[in-house]
Structure 1
Amino acid sequence: MPRISAPTVAQHRAAQRRALLDAAREVLTEGATDIPGFAEVAARAGLARSSMYQYFKSRRDLLDALVEDSFPRWSDRVEREMDAAGAPDRRVLAYVRANLDLVAEGEHAIASSIAAIAPTEKMTETSALLHRKLVTPLVTALTELGATDPAATAELINAVVHAATRQVEAGGDPVAVQARAAELIEPYLTFAATSRATGNINP
């Protein structure tokens, strides 16, 4: 048995699995076109190749684990930042900011690599679930603001986020891109919040 580097065996195993997943995610951020190999992942994690088989039965099993690990991280991060923002107009801006922060941190590149490597039915279902989880709190915030068609407005906001994502991934300064996206969206939010506060009907 290897030397335990955590208080319990379970914690040790969890830490090793986390290190292997993080190493595989690192490979994906570099534009991998295939499922990361066990030898490369283990080496990056500072572990023996044989350690991989204690946690993943195959490269496909590793890829499934990456899908299950990466996609909830995105939605959970966005939801946390929106919840902390408070008022509905601030939550919408937090949605934009959190998504673009994740892009700048490489999370979108990981998701794109996974999708390119494994365009499977499971992947399609996972992507659809993530989209629903992301859009739901955005639509809720827009509904609270009094948007006449919150779902359609959310789609337009996401169009701005997607365009900003492309700019960041093309090498644009994330801070500047995020500021431009906010410049486009914030006037509507200010108008909607003011209309809501004064009791006027939102167009």
Structure 2
Amino acid sequence: MPRIDAPTVAEHRAERERALIDAARSLLTAEPDRVPTLAEVGELTGLSRSSVYQYYASREDLLSAVVSDSFPRWQERLDAAISAAHDPRGRILAFVRANLELVADGEHALARTLSAVAPSEDLARKSRAFHDRLLVPVVDALTELGVPDPETTTDLITALVHAASRRVEQTGDLERAYAATKALLEPYLQG
């Protein structure tokens, strides 16, 4: 019988699931072009491959758990940044900055890796829904500013964020990428 390392079985299970998710994230971040096996994830946490199957039925199941764990944390970071802004222009710039910070922290690379290594229908659906939720505050801010087509303008802002994200990934210079993006957006937002 396995040893329980927590006050309750439920807490023990939650701790093991957390350790497996963290191990999978670590392996995905270290080798972005390769999906780790359940045996590799288990080894990193001190569990056998067969023990990992007690928590996750497949690699896709584990990757889905990584996605489900990551998306809310990313959403919280964006929400916190946006809610700290005092006007719609500030909310848009906060959205840009928070996204670039996620890139600088390696979170965007993890998202890109997950979508590349685990292109399941379920993951694609979750990713699309998550992405759409992230854009709601931008659409709302643009609507508040009276922009005639806030959805298209949001797409254009997102394209700027993606371009700036590539610069952060290439150079590691968050401040420079943000300053350039802000310089492009501010005149439009002020007008």
| Alignment of 1:18 onto 2:55 | no
| Alignment of 1:2 onto 2:3 | yes
| Alignment of 1:131 onto 2:131 | yes
Match of 2:180 in 1: 180
Q: Is the 8 Å Cα contact of residues 100 and 161 (structure 2) preserved in structure 1?
A: yes
- Distance in 2 (CA, whole Å) between partners of 1:158 and 1:69 is 23
Mind listing any 5+ residue stretches in structure 2 that lack a counterpart?
Answer: none
Match of 1:76 in 2: 76
Mind listing any 5+ residue stretches in structure 1 that lack a counterpart?
Answer: 193-203
Choose 143-152 or 100-109, whichever is displaced more. 143-152
Cα deviations across residues 2-45 of structure 1 (Å, max 9, x unaligned)?
242x4443233222211211111111112333321123222333
Q: Is the 8 Å Cα contact of residues 103 and 169 (structure 1) preserved in structure 2?
A: yes
**Superposition RMSD on alpha carbons, in Å?**
2.0
Instruction: Specify the SS of the correspondent of 1:170.
Output: helix
- Distance in 1 (CA, whole Å) between partners of 2:9 and 2:36 is 26
- Distance in 1 (CA, whole Å) between partners of 2:83 and 2:129 is 20
Cα deviations across residues 86-129 of structure 1 (Å, max 9, x unaligned)?
32111111100111111111111111111111222222212221
Match of 2:31 in 1: 31
Match of 1:57 in 2: 57
- Distance in 2 (CA, whole Å) between partners of 1:95 and 1:131 is 13
- Aligned ranges for residues 37-186 of structure 1 at < 5 Å? 37-186=37-186
List structure 1 runs of 4+ shifted beyond 6 angstroms.
none
Cα deviations across residues 53-86 of structure 1 (Å, max 9, x unaligned)?
2311222221222232223332332123212323
Q: Is the 8 Å Cα contact of residues 103 and 109 (structure 2) preserved in structure 1?
A: yes
Letter in 1 for 2:20: L
Return the TM-score normalized by structure 1: 0.83
Instruction: Specify the SS of the correspondent of 1:56.
Output: coil
Count of equivalent residues = 190
- Alignment CA distance shift 1:8-1:99 (3 Å): same
Task: Using the TM superposition, give the Cα deviation of residue 50 of structure 1 relative to its aligned residue in structure 2, in angstroms.
Answer: 4.3
Return the TM-score normalized by structure 2: 0.87
Q: Is the 8 Å Cα contact of residues 31 and 109 (structure 1) preserved in structure 2?
A: no
Cα deviations across residues 146-191 of structure 1 (Å, max 9, x unaligned)?
22221122111111100011111223312221222222212322x1
Choose 43-52 or 142-151, whichever is displaced more. 43-52
Q: Identity percentage over the alignment?
A: 52
Q: Is the 8 Å Cα contact of residues 104 and 172 (structure 2) preserved in structure 1?
A: no
- Alignment CA distance shift 1:146-1:37 (3 Å): same
- Distance in 2 (CA, whole Å) between partners of 1:36 and 1:91 is 38
Q: Is the 8 Å Cα contact of residues 78 and 98 (structure 2) preserved in structure 1?
A: yes
Choose 120-129 or 71-80, whichever is displaced more. 71-80
- Distance in 1 (CA, whole Å) between partners of 2:58 and 2:45 is 17
